């Protein structure tokens, strides 16, 4: 089979490898022929070389974990050959013609979503669904979302659905702010988070700090500290953006004096949340599928990763067609 491999930052090589065999034993696994994959912001540093403590070359097929395709072989009674599935490739090795996934980290797609490329969005949507569940009752609460990439936009939509009283979206990209407004944000500020804090305070003498602040940027610590400055006393900061380093400097004095609550939520119970997210996504697909802005063939993977890394061309969610490798 054909597989893409990052042997050095900012480029892919196409290599030939045997189709993987399903290992014997638990957990039960499935073998999937890949149809489409989508890029996640957490994938980008592995491609660009900005992820510390990572050695090259990367394992073949890395780094992709948002994938859909057709089951070829199954050890689980839940799946059979021919099923169209969303599945999380083991070791994030999804840039391949075939990949292995744990059955507990896959769902069978309903007929309405089978062979639909945007079904890839169910995986990141499930992580946001899990995170919002951890925030409790949002009715009457004000929430700021720092970072309006696809994850931040999912947050805006779901917070609106859950009845948040006021949603403030913060991102320096005006296009992303526009999309956030369409998805439920009551107010957007097209500035970086520190600038947005001061602008919001100057804009209104009645300005009140939010009850909850969601960090949806990742890859550095500045925005976590901005959230700690932005949130009200005894408020919550949800750290969702993926870190690139093992240790981050947090402004502990501000955190301590505000008596703030800092929580981190990333990996849900996949067997539950993928299914729940799939049903919710199907019910609101017309709105949520608009986050897909780019579709490219798998041979243009390097171009896709570069576009994503540079935030060019009003990019939100990028899909790669992995059904053809010629």
The domain ranges of the chain are 2-122+289-321, 135-264
- Please give, one letter per residue, the 3-state secondary structure of 134-193: CCCCCECCEEEEECCCHHHHHHHHHHHHCCECEEEEECCCHHHHHHHHHCCCCEEECCCH
Q: Each residue of 301-322: pLDDT tens digit?
A: 999 999 999 988 899 999 999 9
pLDDT at 201: 65
SS3 265: coil
C-alpha closest to that of 170 among 192, 154, 199, 149: 192
pLDDT at 116: 96
SS3 66: strand
> Which residue reads 């394992």 in tokens?
59
Measured CA to CA in angstroms, residue 217 lies from 37, 72, 147 at distances of 21, 36, 5
Structure confidence at residue 266 as a pLDDT band (50, 70, 90)? confident
CATH number of the domain at 135-264, out of 3.40.309.10, 3.40.50.12780, 3.40.50.720, 3.40.50.300? 3.40.50.720
C-alpha closest to that of 171 among 249, 223, 237: 223
Comparing 197 with 149, the larger pLDDT belongs to: 149
Q: Can you tell me the distance from the alpha carbon of 82 to that of 227, in angstroms, rounded to the nearest whole number?
A: 46
Q: Can you tell me the distance from the alpha carbon of 171 to that of 290, in angstroms, rounded to the nearest whole number?
A: 18
Asked whether this chain's domains 2-122+289-321 and 135-264 adopt the same fold, the reply is no
Q: Can you tell me the distance from the alpha carbon of 229 to that of 227, in angstroms, rounded to the nearest whole number?
A: 5
Q: Each residue of 271-300: pLDDT tens digit?
A: 899 999 999 999 999 999 999 999 999 999
Measured CA to CA in angstroms, residue 4 lies from 9, 31, 59, 155 at distances of 13, 18, 9, 31
pLDDT at 13: 97
Structure confidence at residue 267 as a pLDDT band (50, 70, 90)? confident
Q: Can you tell me the distance from the alpha carbon of 221 to that of 233, in angstroms, rounded to the nearest whole number?
A: 20
Residue 72: pLDDT over 90: yes
Structure confidence at residue 39 as a pLDDT band (50, 70, 90)? very high
Q: Each residue of 100-130: pLDDT tens digit?
A: 999 999 999 999 999 899 999 999 999 999 9
Which parts of the chain are beta strand (E)? 2-5, 13-16, 29-38, 66-74, 84-89, 98-108, 142-146, 166-170, 187-189, 212-215, 236-239, 261-264, 292-297, 317-321
Measured CA to CA in angstroms, residue 323 lies from 74, 143, 269 at distances of 20, 40, 29
Residue 78: pLDDT over 70: yes
Q: Each residue of 191-210: pLDDT tens digit?
A: 876 676 666 666 656 678 99
Tokens representing 58? 């990367």
Comparing 200 with 85, the larger pLDDT belongs to: 85
Average pLDDT, the chain: 94
Encode 61-92: b = buried (16+ Cβ within 10 Å), e = exposed: bbbbbbbbbbbebbbeebbeeebbbbbbbbeb
pLDDT at 94: 98
Share of the chain above pLDDT 90, in %: 83
Q: Which residues pair with 264 in a beta bridge?
A: 239
C-alpha closest to that of 236 among 258, 261, 256: 261
pLDDT at 119: 98
Q: Which residues pair with 30 in a beta bridge?
A: 74, 101
SS3 117: helix
Provide CATH code, domain 2-122+289-321: 3.90.180.10
- State the Cα torsion 100-104-110-116 to the nearest 10°: -40
Structure confidence at residue 244 as a pLDDT band (50, 70, 90)? confident
């Amino acid at each position: 089979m054909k597989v893409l491999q990052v042997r050095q930052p900012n480029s892919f090589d196409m290599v030939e490898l045997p189709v993987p065999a399903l290992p014997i034993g638990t957990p039960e696994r499935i073998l999937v022929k890949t149809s489409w994959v989508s890029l996640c912001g957490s994938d980008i540093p592995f491609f660009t070389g900005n992820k510390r403590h990572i050695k090259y070359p990367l394992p073949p097929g890395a780094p992709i974990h948002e994938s859909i395709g057709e089951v070829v072989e199954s050890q689980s009674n839940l799946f059979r050959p021919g099923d169209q599935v969303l599945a999380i490739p083991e070791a994030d090795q999804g840039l391949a013609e075939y990949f292995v996934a744990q059955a507990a980290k896959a769902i069978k797609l309903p007929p309405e979503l089978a062979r639909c490329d945007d079904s890839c969005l169910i995986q990141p949507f499930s992580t946001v669904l899990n995170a919002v569940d951890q925030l409790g009752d949002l009715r009457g609460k004000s929430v700021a979302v720092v970072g309006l990439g696809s994850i931040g936009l999912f947050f805006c939509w779901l917070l609106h659905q859950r009845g948040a009283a006021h949603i403030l979206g913060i991102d320096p990209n005006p296009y992303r702010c526009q999309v956030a407004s369409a998805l439920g944000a009551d107010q957007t500020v097209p500035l970086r988070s520190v600038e947005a804090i001061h602008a919001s305070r100057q804009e209104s003498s009645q300005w009140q700090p939010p009850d909850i602040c969601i960090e949806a940027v990742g890859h550095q610590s500045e925005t976590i500290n901005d959230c700690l400055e932005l949130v009200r006393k005894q408020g919550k900061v949800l750290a969702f953006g993926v870190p690139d380093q093992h240790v981050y400097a947090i402004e502990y004095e501000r955190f301590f004096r505000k008596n703030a609550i800092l929580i981190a939520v990333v990996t849900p119970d996949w067997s539950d949340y993928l299914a729940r997210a799939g049903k919710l996504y199907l019910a609101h697909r017309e709105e949520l599928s608009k986050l897909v802005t780019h579709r490219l063939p798998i041979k243009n993977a390097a171009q896709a990763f570069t576009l994503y890394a540079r935030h060019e061309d009003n990019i939100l969610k990028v899909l790669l067609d992995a059904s053809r490798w010629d």
